[in-house]
Each structure stands twice: as structure tokens, then as C-alpha cells.
Structure 1
Amino acid sequence: MAEPCTERLLKKNYYENCPGCKVDQYKELHRGFPIRELVSTWVVVLCTALPISSLFPFLYFMIRDFHIAKREEDIGYYAGYVGSSFMLGRVLTSVFWGIVADRYGRKPVIIMGTITVVIFNTLFGLSVNFWMAVTTRFLLGSLNGLLGPIKAYAGEVFREEYQALGMSAISTAWGMGLIIGPAVGGFLAQPAEKYPNIFSKESLFGRFPYFLPCLCISLFALAVSVATCWLPETLHMHGGKTLPDDLDEGLETGSCNSNINEKTEQIEGTGPTAKENLIKNWPLMSAIIVYCIFSLHDMAYTEIFSLWAVSPRSLGGLSYSTKDVGEVLSISGFGLLVFQFSLYPLVERFIGPTMIMRIAGVLSIPLLASYPFMTFLSGFSLTILLNCASLFKNVFSVSIITTLFILQNRAVEQHQRGAANGISMTAMSLFKAIAPAGGGAIFSWTQKRQDAVFLPGDQMVFFALNVVEAIGVLMTFKPFLAQK
């Protein structure tokens, strides 16, 4: 019998001794519909998305209770600072967490991120002043770096035919978190006032009126933290070095000597693939830039919608309560869930992800332009139109984000996905840090110009959102947006 091929011996040794390769056995054991991977990815992303925007329905009242704003019109400024502190923390640490995920694995970063939500989201609900709120939000953002690694994780744990579904699960969970979070905040904030038969003003939830929604999210994050201990590690490691995606293909070809030397160089970090500069990868960078523009828009919209809905009609708002806002966002969340898991994969298969992104961006512009005129409505007609508008707006936003997740992961190889998503998270977090501060400032400014001739009051703030959306749509076309 002929001596076995050196490459096959290397492959055999690799699979026997590398714990990271258990993910390949995992894929073989779960060759049907990836329901387990789908659920695990979905709950982890939902866990980290919930605290991002859960504060927006009650942030207006929280800032008012801190007595830091001298006038009611100035509340938006301080609300913006609290909202921005979370994303500022992410700006400073996202690349670091991406590098950690590439070196030590996706799983440790995911567990660390969920535990961070448990601790600092709870402390935020117990904030007694403005600076405590800002500090806890900053620490929550800086120590929770799992969104980038979870995108890399999904790109590795799902087989090729389910890649679009995996990325859709991430963007859906993210979008759902940005909708369910405010719904939870709206329903559960100030429980002693809304549900006096259950919570007294002398109880813990009466003394800390914004603690209950934070506590519920933290308890969910605690359960997710325990469950993540059973996640399979998807980073292929051997001797502390990353194994490139195409090693298996080279090992199967039988071209022993030249191919094995080239792959070994890449494993040791000296090959051309290992030295590829992500900054010079234009398909990746163009997708990240477009992602940043749409993220800026989405974060600003999320804050402005809640502030606009709860502000008094005399200042151009709807005079909604936090519970009313929670109801609107709950309906939007249910519709979004149905669309992303049933219709999005079918539409993506027929017209492609890029076309979905462009159509969604274009349709968002007239939809947002209609928001200021809803202040002339009341009762049932206002409820119906506002719920429909909110549902369509969130479906459009999540469809755009799903597309950009897919484009970013296609632009790099596996061994660079953690770092690439870390860069994406850093850039996106910077824009999302600007969004609440800028959105809050613009919102406060527009409330002071109710009698202006050009775009009075809230018309100006939604016009500003549409300008950002239009810029994002234009950047989805060639030559700016490149695809690998």
C-alpha cells in the first residue's frame, strides 16, 4: 500500500487534535434546517440589542426627574448625551473585541458581552443622577463587544445555503431588540404610576421608577449568559493559529508539497492571506461606510420617534404616554418578525440583497415625510396610520441592515471576520454615538421654531432624517459600493 499523502496526514492530525474543529462535526450532525443555530444566534443578538434603545420611551421623563435641564425644551440635549454614551464606549473597544474574538474565539467574547448587560444595565436602572446614568451606559457599551463576533460566528456556523438566513436572523434580532426594547421600557417604566395596585410608591420600583424595565432585560440576559456556555466554538484554531477557509479544499486535491507549504505559511501568519490589509479592502470598507450612514439614520430615528411621540402637542408632538409608545413598537416588532423570517429570504432570492436595500431606502423617504402631518390626526385614525408607518419603517431599516451584514461578511475570509466586524462596529458605533446627541439637539432646536416659515417645528427634524437616508441610498450604487 502506498504511503499516505502528507496533506491527508496533516488533515487527520488537525481534526483529531484541534478542539475548534468540532464545529465541522457539529455541522455534519445538524445537516437539516438549522433551527438550533438560528435560535441561539437570535437570542444572543436580541440580548445585546434590547438595552440599546429600551431607555428612549422613558428617557425624556428620566432627564426631567434628574432636574438637570433648566427648561423643558432642553431635555432633548441631555437625553442625547445619555444615548450617545453607550455608542461612545463601543467606539473605543470594538476593534479590541474583534481581535480578541479572532485570537481566542467567538464564544468568550459572546459570554463576556451578555454578562456585561446583566451588570451595567441593572445599574443604569438604579441611576440617581445624570452622571451615574452616563457612566453606566458608557461601561455597558465599552464592555459589550459581541455584535461583531456574533456576525462572524453566524457566517461560520451556518452552512452556505443558509448564510442569508443567518445574517437575516442577526439583523432581525437586532431590529427586534431596537423595537422590543423601547416597548419594554414604555410598558414597564414608572410602574407605581401605571399599576398602583401592584407597585406602591414606597416600594423599590416606586423609588426607582425606571428600574423595572432594566431589571427584566437583565434577567433575560442572565438566562442567555448561562445558555451561551453550550454554544459551539466556530473559530478554527490549531496551535494558536487560524486555519484559512480554503485549507480543506487544498488538502483534498492531493497536490502535496507546494500546496501544503503555501497553506502552512498562512497558518503561521506569513502567507499573503494573513497579511491582507482590511483597510485596503474596498468591498469591505464601502459596505462599512454605507452601513454607518444607515446606522446613523436608524439610531437618530429611534430616539427622535420616542421623543416626538411623548412630547406635548403644543411643541409638535403627539402627547403619547410611554405605554402608548410601547404599544406602537410592539406591533411593529411582531410585523417585522413575520416579514424577516417569511418574506425576506424569498425576496432576497429573487431580486438580490442589494436591490432590496435600494428599494427600502427609497420608500423610507416619503414615509418619513408623512410623520409631521400625523399631528393633525387623533383617535383611531392616528393609531392606525402611526402603527402602519412605524411597521413599514422598521421593516425597511432592518432589510437594509441585513443586506449590509451579508456584503461585509462576503468581503473577507474567515480568519479576518472578527477584525473586520470589529472595524465595522467601531465605525458604526461612532456614527451611532453622534446620532442621539445630534438628534436630541436638532429635536430641541425644532421645538423652539414652531412658527418658522420654512419647515416649521417637527417637519425640520424629519427632513433632516430624510437627507441622511437619501445620502445612504445614493452610496449604494456604483462606483462607490463595490462587491467582492
Structure 2
Amino acid sequence: MAGGGEIDDIHETATATTAAPLLEKVYWEGCPGCAAEKRKEENPGIPYLQFFRIWIIILVSCLPITFIYPFLYFMIRDLHVAKTVEDIGFYGGFVGASYMLGRALTSTVWGMVADRIGRKPVILFGIFSTVVFNTLFGLSTHYWMAITTRFFVGSLNGLLGPIRAYTIEICRDEHQAIGMSLDSTAWAMGLIIGSVIGGYLAQPAEKYPELFPDNSLFQSLQLCCSYKLHMVPGVSVMVYQTFIYPYIERILGPINTSRVATVLSMVLLFTYPPMTHLSRPWLQIVSIVTCTYILQNNSVTQDQRGTANGLATTIMSFFKAFAPAGAGIVFSWAQKRQHAFFFPGDQMVFFMLFVVEFIGLVWTFKPFLAMPEQFSSKSSS
């Protein structure tokens, strides 16, 4: 029979064994995922430097989308492709949609490539292609050249999916809301900077005749910016995403935050017809968008995040490519029923938007949305 000392030694050994982790973390050399996890363990704080780099990259990716719309009308006019003034919007819609169409066709592929060879090569190639084809777009002298170059800007720009996956991978769980809010913040800055660039660098021959004579290249490639009001929602979204959203997400979780923002957007949409001067619901929209970024990254494993974000970008780009045409059809149809009994005129447009928001709200509940157990503590329904 064992003595008292031996029993104490056995008890201490059993206690130490129980307290020790069953599986110790092992970081393999040459493994990018292991290096990222080790970096997060060694630096539990917010990775400000990495966040700043990501913010700059997302801004570069957003600028090709935002800077074109202020001067698109005048660009189509100067290309002389529209026979009448009323046709300018028709031709301009195809130029605007060509970017999203190209991105919709290739985003999933870029996400799969990022999972296979890494995030950084895809990001670097996307930045390089954006510089090249954006320059060619600015030099367009024919309508089809403008459409083609915009299409290649979108199809070769595989930044968004990999950069969102990379954002999740470099920060700890408690900092995910801050990291993913960088996307909306960079988008807001893109609205501001894009509007400024479009306003001050377009039509230089008319604004600065002493620097650019009539027979110069800038005279034949003149563009104009007239929608500087993009700066107003841009500033509001930037402030909200940077200082307010991370705290709301930390309290409510991504799913509940998205639900609250969706309900607020639904209510606000119904106020549009009687309150035509009401500001746009930018803050609610960016809450929904940012929450979906967090959800789609947490719903898959690390080796699938690039593909998941690429697929999400594909679907988003597809609807952004065809939404202008669909919205134009719905709006034209609504104008023909100004005296209808059920939601006459513009009210039908906002009613259909309300239905879309409601469907999105329903899909945040089970069984449509299922989160992994480690992420479902704050987001459970």
C-alpha cells in the first residue's frame, strides 16, 4: 500500500497533467498560416501598421470604382457616341457596369488562386493591373475602348476577396470588427478623394488654359466633375466606421448588428416618398455590409477564406453590374402608375427595396445562416 508521500506525489502529477493542454500549438517553418497565428499570439494588441497597409490597398481598389461616376456623363458626351442627350445615360450605364461585370466573372477565381499561392501575389498583381488599365481608360478616344479597359480593370483586379481574408488572418478575434470596418472606411475615403480628383483634374484645358493649350492631349481627353456631394456621405461613413461601429459590434455581435441596421434601413426606406430631402441611410448600409464581411470570414476555415471572399465579391459584383439596368426598368414602370391604388409612383420603387431588405433580414436567422460554435456566442438568434 502506498504511503502518504507517494499519494501526494501521484495527486500532484495528475493535477499537473489535467491542467496541461491536451494539444499544444505547433508552428511549422515555412507555413504562412502558422506564421500569422504565431504573430497574433506574440502581439495581442491591435496591428496598426498592418491595418494601415490594408487600408491603403483597399483605397486603391475602391478609387477605380468611385472616381468615374462624377464625370461619366461628360465623358460619354465628349466621345460623341450618343445621338441625343437622352441617350447619354444609356451608354454611360454600360461603361459603369463593365467594371462590375469583369469583377463578377473573375473574383471567385482570384479567391481560389489566393488560397493556393498566397494573398500577397494576387494583391500585387491587382494593384499593377489597376495602374495599367486605369491609365488606358483615361486615354480612351472611342466608346468601345472605354468599355474594354474598364472591363479589364475589374476582371484583373482581384484585391477585395484576398484582402478581406488577409485582414481576418492578421488580427485577433476581438479586433475583427475594427479590421473589417477598414473596408467601409476606405470606401468612404474613396468617395471623398475620387470626387476631389474628378473635380480638380478633369477638363484641365478649360480650367487651366495657360498650362494646357487647345491643341494639347488634355484638350481632346477633357472630363468634368459635378457631383462633389459624394464627399458628405463619405465623411459620415468614415467617422462612423472608425469610431462607432467597432463598439456596437463588440456589444451586439455581427449578426445582431446587421439585423438592427436592416430594420433601421427598412423604416428609413418608407420615409423616402414623403420626405424627399432626407439623407441617405449610409450608416445603416455600411453596418450591414461590414457585418457580412465578418460573417463570411468566420463561416469558413482559413484555407477557404480567399475562395469564400472571392465568391462573395462575385455575387456582389454581379448585382452591382445589373442593378442600374434593373433599377431603370423599375423606375420607368413606376412612373407609368402614378395614380395606382397600391403604392403609386415612386412609392413602389421603395416598397421593392423594402422587400429586398426584409429578405436579407430573414436570411440572418437559422437555418439560412449557421455560424461555427466558436463564433456563435454573441451572434446566436
* Pair in the same fold by TM > 0.5: yes
Shift of 1:353: 2.2
For residues 189 and 400 of structure 1, the distance between their equivalents in structure 2, rounded to whole angstroms, comes to 34
Query: Could you tell which deviates more after superposition, 119-128 or 170-179?
Result: 170-179
The match for 2:112 is 99
For residues 450 and 61 of structure 1, the distance between their equivalents in structure 2, rounded to whole angstroms, comes to 29
Tell me, yes or no, if structure 1 residue 413 matches structure 2 residue 301. yes
Which of 70, 87, 99 is the matching residue for 2:100? Answer: 87
Partner letter of residue 336 of structure 1?
Answer: V
The match for 2:263 is 362
The match for 2:368 is 480
How big is each residue's C-alpha offset from its partner over 1:372-409, in whole Å with a ceiling of 9 and x where there is no partner?
6777xxxxxxxxx56xx14xx22222111100001111
Structure with bigger RCO (C-alpha 8 Å, 6+ apart): 1
Which of 347, 370, 392 is the matching residue for 2:248? Answer: 347
Shift of 1:73: 2.9
User: Relative to structure 1, is the Cα distance of residues 396 and 202 closer, same or farther in structure 2, using a 3 angstrom cutoff?
Assistant: farther
For residues 457 and 188 of structure 1, the distance between their equivalents in structure 2, rounded to whole angstroms, comes to 39
Shift of 1:439: 3.4
Shift of 1:71: 3.2
For residues 231 and 125 of structure 2, the distance between their equivalents in structure 1, rounded to whole angstroms, comes to 29
Tell me, yes or no, if structure 1 residue 74 matches structure 2 residue 113. no
The match for 2:180 is 167
Q: Are the aligned partners of 2:188 and 2:233 in contact in 1 as well (CA < 8 Å)?
A: no
Report 1:76-155 matches (<5 A): 76-155=89-168
Which of 201, 210, 225 is the matching residue for 1:322? Answer: 225
What is the SS of the residue equivalent to 1:453? coil
Partner letter of residue 453 of structure 1?
Answer: H
The match for 2:312 is 424
Report 1:31-430 matches (<5 A): 31-178=44-191, 180-194=193-207, 196=209, 199-210=212-223, 322-323=225-226, 325-326=227-228, 328-368=229-269, 389-390=279-280, 393-430=281-318
Q: Are the aligned partners of 1:336 and 1:394 in contact in 2 as well (CA < 8 Å)?
A: yes
Which structure would you say has the larger Rg?
A: 2
Shift of 1:456: 7.8
Which of 449, 453, 463 is the matching residue for 2:339? Answer: 453
Which of 426, 437, 457 is the matching residue for 2:325? Answer: 437
User: Relative to structure 1, is the Cα distance of residues 197 and 354 closer, same or farther in structure 2, using a 3 angstrom cutoff?
Assistant: farther
For residues 107 and 337 of structure 2, the distance between their equivalents in structure 1, rounded to whole angstroms, comes to 43
For residues 97 and 165 of structure 2, the distance between their equivalents in structure 1, rounded to whole angstroms, comes to 26
Partner letter of residue 397 of structure 1?
Answer: I
User: Relative to structure 1, is the Cα distance of residues 127 and 371 closer, same or farther in structure 2, using a 3 angstrom cutoff?
Assistant: farther
For residues 88 and 171 of structure 2, the distance between their equivalents in structure 1, rounded to whole angstroms, comes to 45
Q: Are the aligned partners of 1:91 and 1:425 in contact in 2 as well (CA < 8 Å)?
A: yes
Q: Are the aligned partners of 2:36 and 2:170 in contact in 1 as well (CA < 8 Å)?
A: yes
For residues 138 and 343 of structure 1, the distance between their equivalents in structure 2, rounded to whole angstroms, comes to 36
Shift of 1:98: 1.0
Q: Are the aligned partners of 1:172 and 1:398 in contact in 2 as well (CA < 8 Å)?
A: no
Alpha-carbon RMSD across the aligned residues, in angstroms, is 3.1
Partner letter of residue 144 of structure 2?
Answer: W
Report 1:466-477 matches (<5 A): 466-477=354-365
Unaligned runs of 5+ in 2: 1-22, 373-381
Shift of 1:134: 0.8
Partner letter of residue 411 of structure 1?
Answer: S
For residues 126 and 88 of structure 1, the distance between their equivalents in structure 2, rounded to whole angstroms, comes to 21
TM-score, with structure 2 as normaliser: 0.79
Query: Could you tell which deviates more after superposition, 458-467 or 198-207?
Result: 458-467
For residues 190 and 368 of structure 1, the distance between their equivalents in structure 2, rounded to whole angstroms, comes to 37
For residues 204 and 82 of structure 2, the distance between their equivalents in structure 1, rounded to whole angstroms, comes to 24
How big is each residue's C-alpha offset from its partner over 1:236-259, in whole Å with a ceiling of 9 and x where there is no partner?
xxxxxxxxxxxxxxxxxxxxxxxx
User: Relative to structure 1, is the Cα distance of residues 433 and 451 closer, same or farther in structure 2, using a 3 angstrom cutoff?
Assistant: closer
Query: Could you tell which deviates more after superposition, 464-473 or 141-150?
Result: 464-473
Shift of 1:347: 1.3
Shift of 1:28: 5.4
User: Relative to structure 1, is the Cα distance of residues 194 and 436 closer, same or farther in structure 2, using a 3 angstrom cutoff?
Assistant: farther
Shift of 1:43: 1.0
For residues 466 and 189 of structure 1, the distance between their equivalents in structure 2, rounded to whole angstroms, comes to 37
Shift of 1:95: 1.7
What is the SS of the residue equivalent to 2:369? coil
Q: Are the aligned partners of 1:57 and 1:182 in contact in 2 as well (CA < 8 Å)?
A: yes
What is the SS of the residue equivalent to 1:322? coil
Shift of 1:124: 1.2
For residues 450 and 187 of structure 1, the distance between their equivalents in structure 2, rounded to whole angstroms, comes to 40
Shift of 1:368: 4.6
How big is each residue's C-alpha offset from its partner over 1:197-226, in whole Å with a ceiling of 9 and x where there is no partner?
66554443332123xxxxxxxxxxxxxxxx
User: Relative to structure 1, is the Cα distance of residues 473 and 22 closer, same or farther in structure 2, using a 3 angstrom cutoff?
Assistant: closer
User: Relative to structure 1, is the Cα distance of residues 423 and 30 closer, same or farther in structure 2, using a 3 angstrom cutoff?
Assistant: same
For residues 423 and 480 of structure 1, the distance between their equivalents in structure 2, rounded to whole angstroms, comes to 17
Query: Could you tell which deviates more after superposition, 455-464 or 333-342?
Result: 455-464
For residues 78 and 302 of structure 2, the distance between their equivalents in structure 1, rounded to whole angstroms, comes to 48
For residues 356 and 257 of structure 2, the distance between their equivalents in structure 1, rounded to whole angstroms, comes to 18
For residues 348 and 139 of structure 2, the distance between their equivalents in structure 1, rounded to whole angstroms, comes to 35
User: Relative to structure 1, is the Cα distance of residues 479 and 187 closer, same or farther in structure 2, using a 3 angstrom cutoff?
Assistant: farther
Identity of aligned residues (%): 53
Q: Are the aligned partners of 1:113 and 1:143 in contact in 2 as well (CA < 8 Å)?
A: yes
What is the SS of the residue equivalent to 1:482? coil
